[in-house]
Amino acid sequence: MKKKAVVLFSGGLDSTTALCWALSKGYECLAVSFDYGQRHDRENRSARAIARRLGVKLYGIKLDFPWFASCSLVNKKLKLPDVKPEKIGRKGDIPSTYVPGRNLVFASAGFSLADAVGADAIVLGPNVVDYSGYPDCRPEFYRALEKAAAFGTRRGATGRPIKILTPLIKLSKAGIARLGVRLKAPLELTWSCYSGGKKPCGRCDSCKLRAKGFADAGLEDPAL
């Protein structure tokens, strides 16, 4: 029987590369995207387009968190941070784009789907560039979460615990860009910009990290 994986999927560079990595490893993939009140729906449109291109079933989940008002990724009244790429994610600096407990909630939904359909793993795209700034992108968080889920899922209780796979965790953005190109991921369909709109703003943290990643890799960004 073919092994199965649930991929947490935003339609961005990282999660698209992670999805294509899982497909390349022989997993039958199901993807999950989330509408949690972001400033725009552009990334979810990308997620749907990429899922169609790759022939992957996508579950779209809508969440309502009224206490996310302090997060600039959700609250359009707040200004998105505009800092130099080398200063993004410095240890101890948690940016205003941090969404409290987001990855914990997302991973929990992933475990729920994986337990329901008998999937062997959930796949996520956190990486070394992010986890110094976002506490829920750290490797130790995912190791602990995998252990906890083994106690709280049917598969775990029956001796078949669901694994958490984070294939990008130690890669730089340049490494992710190279891997995405090598896997022939549809990077031209991906969206990373926090602002939304017809074209990436080029000013937000995500745009700057993505641009630096492709530049460092010596590659042109196919989405531009």
Q: Domain of 36?
A: 4-217
In a domain, 222, yes or no: no
Q: Are 223 and 214 in contact (CB under 8 A)?
A: no
Q: Mean of the per-residue pLDDT values for the chain?
A: 87
Q: Angle formed by the axes of helices 173-182 and 205-217, to 10°?
A: 60
CATH number for the domain harbouring residue 110: 3.40.50.620
* pLDDT tens digits, one per residue of 29-73: 999 999 887 777 889 999 999 999 999 999 999 988 776 665 655
pLDDT digits (tens, 9 = 90+) for 133-184: 677 788 899 999 999 999 999 999 999 999 999 999 999 999 999 999 999 9
190 assigned to some structural domain: yes
- With a cut of 80, say whether residue 123 has pLDDT above it: yes
Judge whether 173 lies within some domain: yes
Q: pLDDT grade, residue 22 (50/70/90)?
A: very high
CA distances, 106 to each of 65, 117, 138, 153 (Å) = 13, 17, 15, 16
Within a domain: residue 224? no
Q: Is the pLDDT of residue 217 over 80?
A: yes
Q: Dihedrals φ, ψ of 81, to 5°?
A: -65, 145
Q: Residue 171 falls within a domain, yes or no?
A: yes
On whether residue 37 sits in a domain, the answer given is: yes
Q: What pTM does this model have?
A: 0.88
Q: How many domains does the chain have?
A: 1
